[in-house]
Structure 1
């Protein structure tokens, strides 16, 4: 019988469970030898990947859910599936070596399993509304995922960065995606009673801005806010030809535009040429007197230098405005 049902025929999504093969008639001992000879790759105890398949984090997550259907991808793993950016500069949301995170209802007590690369969070709230299907995996919904991440965030920057990402159009892993949630949905999620971290999470959500363009922009905005600097975020200006242009930040009274440049989006020749054109057009927009540009690395590594540079530019532009106004007065020398 087992010759009629080969391991490849039994696999689902490139993953074979030992129990499926045994149920089809394969003796356990003979099965293991056959799989190893044919180049099958052991994912974890009881699960194998078809020969030649890259065993990345998605394949490992699929194997875990096939072995334990009660587990739902959550937290960082759910963020990777939804393409929500996380607080780490210049890296993918999840890579092949990271711990995979899941949520489960009682009686599971949480903790780690699977040689340390699986972490399970016990939860008392996991309804159908909290879950969705993404790339063939059961995953917490975008609102629930962001709520979990904000509640577990260790800092204001991490919490607001995640919220901004989910609320905005973003370019993640080479793909552009639409906003995943609305502010009202996140507010409702964070209003759930008896959730640890809820009060701080609700305060942090109030700092989120839909439309923020990147994690670096989020951190720059928060650091400028701490320094008492409150620019407009992504306002619509117009070039000399009337084309709309949206700088990352704009201090309208001083005519100062601030741009945050991330390598992931701007790191090709074509992107560089586009940036040069954009810079020239922005510099010539009516009302724009100066443009400052900072790299994402500067924002994350030297935020104090960034805010000091912005403040110095504002001071200089304000002084220049005063001198110009004085010179324009009737009777001025």
Structure 2
């Protein structure tokens, strides 16, 4: 309703950036603006609006009509343009959380959705010579379509910054031949790293399956040690997470 009200008052404005991402069910590191009264984000294609109404941020960026779509009565930037805008605007971790969410199958809220875009689509969208495009293309090269959650994205980027290069979504086999996929694996050192999401197990059966999975992982010949971190650890104690991984690697 806030988005529609703003467009009724200023019809030239197009929903963009994080506000468009939320409409497309793309995860970001920001709280949902419709629930937390964060600034709604729009782009003014005519480059004329210097400020928006209270609670609205207006970006003054060239925006061709080919990058705009209709969504339930709203004019919104399409998925490739939305992600290109986030990559150009930064910061890096926030932009790549959104990019990797859109590149993969995800459950967002109560909705399970398929990938929304390809790396090729985003590469094309970043060919437009706008401010920040060169840096955005460098960041896009870091994207991992196999990432399973925002916490995994941020954990991988922090490891990359620390000079750590684990395999992502690494496949291992249990002694009875079943495949298991690890968030991260330092194969030479036999160290697996798993990132736990926000959601609780939900049921006793789900909890039992989770414990069984980790026990099976530890039985895999490739695995000699396993570290598990919560999303809160990744987002709020990243330096501690890196220290724990370094210590485990040194002890291997």
Q: Normalising by the residue count of structure 1, what TM-score does the alignment of the two structures yield?
A: 0.70
Aligned counterpart for 2:59 among listed residues 109, 121, 137 = 121
How far residue 80 of structure 1 moved from its aligned partner, in angstroms, is 0.6
Q: Give 1:315 deviation, angstroms.
A: 2.0
Shift of 1:107: 5.9
**CA separation of 1:311 and 1:140: change in aligned 2, threshold 3 A:** same
**Equivalent residue in structure 1 for 2:11, among 69, 87, 106:** 69
Which portions of structure 1, spanning 4 or more consecutive aligned residues, are displaced by more than 6 angstroms? none
Deviations 1:3-41 (A, max 9, x none): xxxxxxxxxxxxxxxxxxxxxxxxxxxxxxxxxxxxxxx
- Distance in 2 separating the partners of 1:192 and 1:93: 28
Number of matched pairs? 251
2:46 partner SS:
coil
Distance in 1, matches of 2:180 and 2:50, equals 49
Cα distance in structure 2, aligned partners of 1:290 and 1:108: 58
CA contact (8 A) 2:195 2:228 kept: yes
**Distance in 1 between the 2:57 and 2:246 partners?**
45
- What runs of 5+ residues in structure 2 fail to find an aligned partner? none
1:311 equivalent in alignment to 2:249: no
Tell me which residue corresponds to 2:221: 286
3-state DSSP of counterpart to 1:211: coil
Equivalence for 2:232: 297
What corresponds to 1:79 in structure 2? Answer: 21
Looking at structure 2, the residues matched to 298 and 96 of structure 1 have their Cα atoms a distance apart, in angstroms, of: 23
Give the 3 Å change call, closer, same or farther, for CA 92–117 of structure 1 in structure 2: closer
Structure 1 vs Structure 2 CA RMSD: 2.0
Q: Which runs of 5+ in 1 are unaligned?
A: 1-58, 318-333
Does the alignment pair 1:236 with 2:171?
A: yes
2:202 to 246, 255, 268: 268
Q: Give the match's secondary structure for 1:248.
A: strand
Closer/same/farther in 2, CA of residues 216 and 93 from structure 1, 3 Å limit: farther
Contact 1:81-1:135 at 8 Å conserved across structures: no
Query: Structure 2: how far apart are the matches of 1:137 and 1:189?
Result: 21
Q: For 2:47 and 2:77, locate their aligned partners in 1 and report how far apart those are by CA, in whole Å.
A: 19
Distance 1:145 1:74 in 2: 6
Q: Which residue of 2 aligns with 1:211?
A: 146
Further displaced range: 137-146 or 270-279:
270-279
How far apart, in 1, do the equivalents of 2:7 and 2:162 lie? 47
Pair member with larger Rg: 1
CA shift, 1:93, in A, is 5.8
Kept in 1: contact 2:15–2:77 (CA 8 A): yes
1:104-155: CA deviation from partner (whole Å, max 9, x where unpaired)? 3216324212xx0233323322222x122334432111110011111111x3
* Distance in 2 between residues matched to 1:239 and 1:86, nearest whole Å: 34
